[in-house]
Chain A
């Protein structure tokens, strides 16, 4: 009451918090608080397996001086970027087909896109192992048909395998928002472009694609963020040689028992994610997207 009298104005009193209070509470307990704890941890450090609760930039300095971590950091960015671009390139035609050409098979196609989510990520990663392994379906097939002489070793336990797994796993996250955008693109706009002399490719470039940018951006943000932080697929398909950020975090927490160190890497990862979202929000208006 005192607070309100001091800071509150008549207009501010109108803004009632009550309807969103449960959401705020939920977010505070399950998101803000853990992140806050993580943040605080990242400025502490471990010494002789004891937690020293003194503020310092020790962990961040360590990170900056650790070539393995730097490498993991850039590899993660690169993999996430490649995965995002490949997903976008693959998802647009898929979404276009479903939205504009599938006709009465539309719902069936949508379900087909979503179905993989019904099985666990781990299971699907194992399926890829069966396909990509040295004695996997692809290598066996290629060798037995004589296309190659020896199995391709880079198919599994490599950044390549990780990228394949991530592309496969996150494609639906790209397809769905693009599809949603495409649904708002009226057929008559595409017809009008053709009618005015635009070939199908030109009409796509001039009309369909620009109107899909909101969906494309949302899809790219989701895919990039998920790919950047994904653990299961790199752990199962990537092998232990080339670490990604998420693996590095787990190693710090689990193997090294260095919680502050892991926390610091997590904070950096989180900062990147926030930076990406902030940049995108400045660029596209969220209301147009949703």
Chain B
């Protein structure tokens, strides 16, 4: 088995132009077999275009798409071993639940007995047993979602493509389905390529996340990497909440990056290997949960003075916003048991050097 066959999907320099506008710009990454990969980005970032290119409804203007090491560019959707869960589910309204699920197997010319057996098993696994004879108009949104999933999974595609499949569900059902989708995916070991604009959903479900913006792949990595080590200001800002402090790189040492912040403040951060050059503008990124109140005596490095603006009680934690020097609004999450300042107090906020991330200003 060559190395390429281990990868369910390979995108090689995929570019796509829509009426002269660039929807995808030189996107390259790989999806491993059995992996749950999420394409994450704001609307119009090209994630759905990439999904449609994978399924064959669109062909890339340039670049290549490989399924298990074989190029599929130019292969029509009905000859591709991919299967899509559509945003609106696209269930056939003139057929029953069981007939919908059976459709792909029927197109493959499978024997009716075998189809019935597999459909029953699929309905069982999805908790739809007994609903097989229902009409599509007579099932709930959550059930429709499962039927769509079953209809696509039953053909055992090389990669299952999911186009914001939870978008139409209400929040509570969505959270439930997130857990269930992930469980099903792990159980059957199928490769999922999942599109969403909801970063929480992406963080909760994915093995790896491809963050996209304006047709470009911004970062590809595990949820942990994407959250803890964003490679750009966009990723830092888009994934989770981030405090962005404009700085200038003062010195690049082998063990630390020294930065000049607003006023006379000076910070250090762990070097990442892709840091901006000395003297260049940079953004220091600190997550709200990594900021803490500094008690006197206040240390010199990695602190910033601010005035408390707002306190919001969230139950387990309190969210504070404070205005720091240079008109920077900082968000701070104060955990249970933490000391609460009053609005208008002058405070000092500290953080650990390893929790600070330095990205370029762009």
Residues of A within 8 A of B (CB): 186, 188-189, 191-200, 202-203, 206-207, 210-211
| C-alpha gap A188/B164 in the complex (Å) | 14
Q: Mark B73-92, 1 if CB is under 8 A from A, else 0.
A: 00011110011101110111
| C-alpha gap A38/B83 in the complex (Å) | 63
Q: Does A189 contact B90, Cβ atoms closer than 8 Å?
A: yes
- A67 nearest CB across to chain B (Å): 46
- A239 nearest CB across to chain B (Å): 45
Say whether, besides A197-B107, A197-B108, A188 and B78 are in contact (CB < 8 Å).
Answer: no
Taking the complex as formed, is B231 at the interface, i.e. its CB lies under 8 A from any CB of chain A? no
Interface residue tally of chain B, by bracket? 20 to 34
| C-alpha gap A218/B179 in the complex (Å) | 47
Q: Which residue of B lies closest to A190 (CB)?
A: B90
Which residues of the partner chain A approach B152 to less than 8 Å between Cβ atoms? Answer: 195-196
| C-alpha gap A236/B263 in the complex (Å) | 96
| C-alpha gap A195/B108 in the complex (Å) | 12
Which residues of the partner chain A approach B94 to less than 8 Å between Cβ atoms? Answer: 207, 210-211
- A289 nearest CB across to chain B (Å): 14
- A5 nearest CB across to chain B (Å): 44
Q: Which residue of A lies closest to B82 (CB)?
A: A195
Q: Does A194 contact B77, Cβ atoms closer than 8 Å?
A: yes
Q: For B155, give its contact among A191, A194, A197, A210 (CB under 8 Å).
A: A197
Which residues of the partner chain B approach A186 to less than 8 Å between Cβ atoms? Answer: 88, 90
Q: Which residue of A lies closest to B107 (CB)?
A: A197
Which residues of the partner chain A approach B76 to less than 8 Å between Cβ atoms? Answer: 194
| C-alpha gap A206/B102 in the complex (Å) | 13
- B51 nearest CB across to chain A (Å): 11
Q: Can you name 20 extra interface pairs (CB under 8 A) apart from A195-B152, A200-B78, A210-B94?
A: A186-B90, A189-B92, A191-B57, A191-B77, A191-B84, A191-B86, A191-B90, A192-B86, A192-B91, A193-B103, A194-B77, A196-B78, A196-B103, A196-B151, A197-B79, A197-B104, A197-B155, A199-B78, A207-B92, A207-B94
| C-alpha gap A210/B95 in the complex (Å) | 10
Taking the complex as formed, is B93 at the interface, i.e. its CB lies under 8 A from any CB of chain A? yes
Which of A186, A196, A198, A202 has the most C-beta atoms of chain B within 10 angstroms of its own C-beta? A196
Taking the complex as formed, is B191 at the interface, i.e. its CB lies under 8 A from any CB of chain A? no
Which of A193, A199, A210, A211 has the most C-beta atoms of chain B within 10 angstroms of its own C-beta? A193
- B97 nearest CB across to chain A (Å): 15
| C-alpha gap A207/B103 in the complex (Å) | 11
Taking the complex as formed, is B145 at the interface, i.e. its CB lies under 8 A from any CB of chain A? no
Which residues of the partner chain B approach A207 to less than 8 Å between Cβ atoms? Answer: 92, 94
Residues of B within 8 A of A (CB): 55, 57, 76-79, 82-84, 86-88, 90-94, 103-104, 107-108, 151-152, 155
Q: Which residue of A lies closest to B104 (CB)?
A: A196
Q: Does B104 contact A188, Cβ atoms closer than 8 Å?
A: no
Q: Does A196 contact B155, Cβ atoms closer than 8 Å?
A: yes
- B195 nearest CB across to chain A (Å): 14
| C-alpha gap A199/B103 in the complex (Å) | 13
Which residues of the partner chain B approach A206 to less than 8 Å between Cβ atoms? Answer: 103
Q: Does B92 contact A195, Cβ atoms closer than 8 Å?
A: no
Which residues of the partner chain B approach A192 to less than 8 Å between Cβ atoms? Answer: 84, 86, 90-92, 151
Q: Which residue of B lies closest to A211 (CB)?
A: B94
Which residues of the partner chain A approach B88 to less than 8 Å between Cβ atoms? Answer: 186, 188
- B332 nearest CB across to chain A (Å): 45
Q: Which residue of B lies closest to A199 (CB)?
A: B78
Which residues of the partner chain B approach A196 to less than 8 Å between Cβ atoms? Answer: 78, 83, 103-104, 107, 151-152, 155
30 contacts between A and B (CB under 8 A): A186-B88, A186-B90, A188-B86, A188-B87, A188-B90, A189-B90, A189-B93, A191-B84, A192-B84, A192-B91, A192-B92, A192-B151, A193-B103, A193-B107, A194-B57, A194-B77, A194-B78, A195-B55, A195-B77, A195-B82, A195-B83, A195-B152, A196-B78, A196-B103, A196-B104, A196-B151, A197-B108, A198-B78, A202-B107, A211-B94
Which residues of the partner chain B approach A194 to less than 8 Å between Cβ atoms? Answer: 57, 76-78
| C-alpha gap A176/B319 in the complex (Å) | 60
| C-alpha gap A211/B91 in the complex (Å) | 13
Which residues of the partner chain A approach B107 to less than 8 Å between Cβ atoms? Answer: 193, 196-198, 202
| C-alpha gap A189/B82 in the complex (Å) | 16
- A131 nearest CB across to chain B (Å): 41
- A120 nearest CB across to chain B (Å): 41
| C-alpha gap A60/B104 in the complex (Å) | 57
- A190 nearest CB across to chain B (Å): 9
- B140 nearest CB across to chain A (Å): 20
| C-alpha gap A188/B151 in the complex (Å) | 14
Which residues of the partner chain B approach A203 to less than 8 Å between Cβ atoms? Answer: 78
Which residues of the partner chain A approach B79 to less than 8 Å between Cβ atoms? Answer: 197
| C-alpha gap A197/B151 in the complex (Å) | 12
Which residues of the partner chain B approach A200 to less than 8 Å between Cβ atoms? Answer: 78
| C-alpha gap A257/B342 in the complex (Å) | 106
| C-alpha gap A288/B103 in the complex (Å) | 24
Q: Which residue of B lies closest to A207 (CB)?
A: B92
Which residues of the partner chain B approach A197 to less than 8 Å between Cβ atoms? Answer: 78-79, 104, 107-108, 155
Q: Does B155 contact A211, Cβ atoms closer than 8 Å?
A: no
| C-alpha gap A192/B78 in the complex (Å) | 9
| C-alpha gap A193/B88 in the complex (Å) | 14
